[in-house]
Structure 1
Amino acid sequence: AMIDCLLNGGTPVQALGYASNRLKASKEKLLMALEGDLSEEHILIAKMQRRHIDYLYDKLAELEDELILRLAPYRPAMELLMTIPGVDTLSAAELIVEIGTDMSAFGSAAKLSMWAGVCPGNHESAGKRYSGKTQKANRFLRSLLCQIAWAAVRTTSQFKSKYQSLVIRRGTKRAIVAIAHKVLRPSKFEGHRPTIRHERHPAPMPDHGTMSLEFRRT
């Protein structure tokens, strides 16, 4: 909004009025950043770039709509995932694309967590922890799970209280990874499991026959 104000002929002071309260920089620093000479050429190029960014966002929205449409046969699985705090329609679709719906393909819950990059290492000796780094894994899935974790800790769920207790001891980043792990962590590979059956699968998804999807909700 601040940039749009400048491009439409507004002054730095007027543009400052559109600053978000979430910005960490002081108003003085923001005003210094907004001040400067904008030539007609600068404004022309900036407006072209702005329109291009808006175009890309529109196309991204179209692709997201198409993704959800193609995953219509997996709607029951998506609705199951959406019972997890922080998971919306799009993130549920992205989880299915990245993970699938057959949890047995990963062998165990621990292997799935490691592949997703949200299972911290536990290198300890005499009670001392030497490393908490996660192993190399699916970066997109890790990023997606962390986004879901951020959304989850803003809900009135157990994720929020768990995050508040972890962030004091581990810091923000490690606490979010821990919440991401809790979001992903499957139930035991035994007992009663929700099962989703499809006679035919859409082309983009592999044919796994009977599919089971398990996620712990607490």
Structure 2
Amino acid sequence: MASSLSTVSARAMLAAMVEGERDPLVLAEMAKGRMRIKIPELAQALEGHFDEHHAQLARSILHRLDLVEAALAELEETMRAEFAPWAHQLELLQTIPGVGEHVAQVIVAETGADMSRFATAGHLAAWAGLAPGMYESAGKSRPVGKRHGNTWLTAMLVESAGSVGRMHGTNYLSTQHARLTRRRGMRRAQVAVAHSILVSAYYMLQRDEPYQDLGPQWFARRDDEAHTRRLVAQLERLGHTVVIDPAA
């Protein structure tokens, strides 16, 4: 019923069980927020055998979780202090959909937030390993997937792309993810969106400006414009002069 032991509801129930509470209804009533609609299912799931031996094991596991969480919190504070000189750049990067604090920190840590090191956004993508490689033979070329590069940066950007994919067409990147997933599969879609995120980061840091979203309708407009150009070209090949007069 609970997606993680780290949720407030799950920890409250486990703590109560460790302290001796065994009534499934009492435990289920400790659910908070959206979990409260699951109280009947929670009560049913909490029925079973849980003795003092189980309580001791749970107490030990929870104690270790507390220690790990405390260590992670301390590490995050240390990282924030170390990244203080790049606070502005981190704030800019987090305006990109799917890019949170940790991903922004990795971008800054791996690139130094200095885009002058890279001649173009394409050079940055190639350095990171997100530019598609090409195999050439007999005068023909074909894509062979992404190149080898900065695996740590690439992994974080692909993870961000996965988050964008769950936004369901609410912005340019999520629309790009959906379109490419239908055509080429989830893996390639995430690599392509990761590439888009990194290219956006390049220009944002170079120009010192926040993310400007093209909108979820950008691809539809591009397709309409391309279709219009194809129709005009066909008519011109037939000897017609075409003047486009957009409808009001």
TM range (shorter): 0.5 to 0.7
Aligned to 2:96, what secondary structure does the other structure show?
coil
Superposition map of 1:1-218 within 5 A? 1=2, 8=17, 40-41=52-53, 43-123=55-135, 129=142, 131-132=144-145, 134-153=146-165, 154=167, 156-185=170-199, 193-194=206-207
State how far apart, in whole Å, the 2-side matches of 1:120 and 1:44 are: 53
State how far apart, in whole Å, the 1-side matches of 2:213 and 2:76 are: 25
State how far apart, in whole Å, the 1-side matches of 2:95 and 2:22 are: 45
Aligned to 2:113, what secondary structure does the other structure show?
coil
State how far apart, in whole Å, the 1-side matches of 2:127 and 2:211 are: 16
Question: Is the contact made by 1:71 and 1:93 (CA closer than 8 Å) also made in structure 2?
Answer: yes
State the Cα deviation string for residues 13-51 of structure 1 (Å, max 9, x = none): x99xx9x99xxxxx9xxx8xx999777545533432332
**Structure that is richer in helix per residue:** 2
Instruction: Quote the offset at 1:96 in angstroms.
Output: 0.9
Structure 2 counterpart of 1:199: none
Structure with larger RCO (C-alpha < 8 A, sep 6+): 1
Bigger mean CA offset, 118-127 vs 103-112:
118-127
Q: Which residue identity is paired with 1:109?
A: A
Instruction: Quote the offset at 1:94 in angstroms.
Output: 2.7
State the Cα deviation string for residues 158-199 of structure 1 (Å, max 9, x = none): 01111111001111111111101100015888xxx425xxxx
Unpaired segments ≥5 residues, structure 2: 36-40, 215-248
State how far apart, in whole Å, the 2-side matches of 1:145 and 1:183 are: 7
Question: Is the contact made by 2:107 and 2:113 (CA closer than 8 Å) also made in structure 1?
Answer: no
State the Cα deviation string for residues 39-67 of structure 1 (Å, max 9, x = none): 75455334323321232123212322332
Aligned to 2:132, what secondary structure does the other structure show?
coil
Question: Is the contact made by 1:64 and 1:90 (CA closer than 8 Å) also made in structure 2?
Answer: no
- In structure 2, the CA distance between the partners of 1:46 and 1:109, relative to structure 1 (3 Å rule), is same
State how far apart, in whole Å, the 2-side matches of 1:95 and 1:104 are: 15
- In structure 2, the CA distance between the partners of 1:109 and 1:49, relative to structure 1 (3 Å rule), is same
- In structure 2, the CA distance between the partners of 1:156 and 1:186, relative to structure 1 (3 Å rule), is closer
State how far apart, in whole Å, the 2-side matches of 1:164 and 1:178 are: 11
Question: Is the contact made by 1:123 and 1:130 (CA closer than 8 Å) also made in structure 2?
Answer: yes
- In structure 2, the CA distance between the partners of 1:188 and 1:67, relative to structure 1 (3 Å rule), is closer
Q: Which residue identity is paired with 1:75?
A: A
Question: Is the contact made by 1:82 and 1:88 (CA closer than 8 Å) also made in structure 2?
Answer: yes
Q: Which residue identity is paired with 1:161?
A: T
Instruction: Quote the offset at 1:130 in angstroms.
Output: 6.5
Aligned to 1:131, what secondary structure does the other structure show?
strand
Unpaired segments ≥5 residues, structure 1: 22-26, 196-212
Question: Is the contact made by 2:133 and 2:143 (CA closer than 8 Å) also made in structure 1?
Answer: no
Aligned to 1:185, what secondary structure does the other structure show?
helix
Compute the RMSD of aligned alpha carbons: 4.2
Question: Is the contact made by 2:134 and 2:141 (CA closer than 8 Å) also made in structure 1?
Answer: no
Instruction: Quote the offset at 1:106 in angstroms.
Output: 3.6
State how far apart, in whole Å, the 2-side matches of 1:42 and 1:129 are: 58
Question: Is the contact made by 1:186 and 1:214 (CA closer than 8 Å) also made in structure 2?
Answer: no
Aligned to 1:101, what secondary structure does the other structure show?
coil
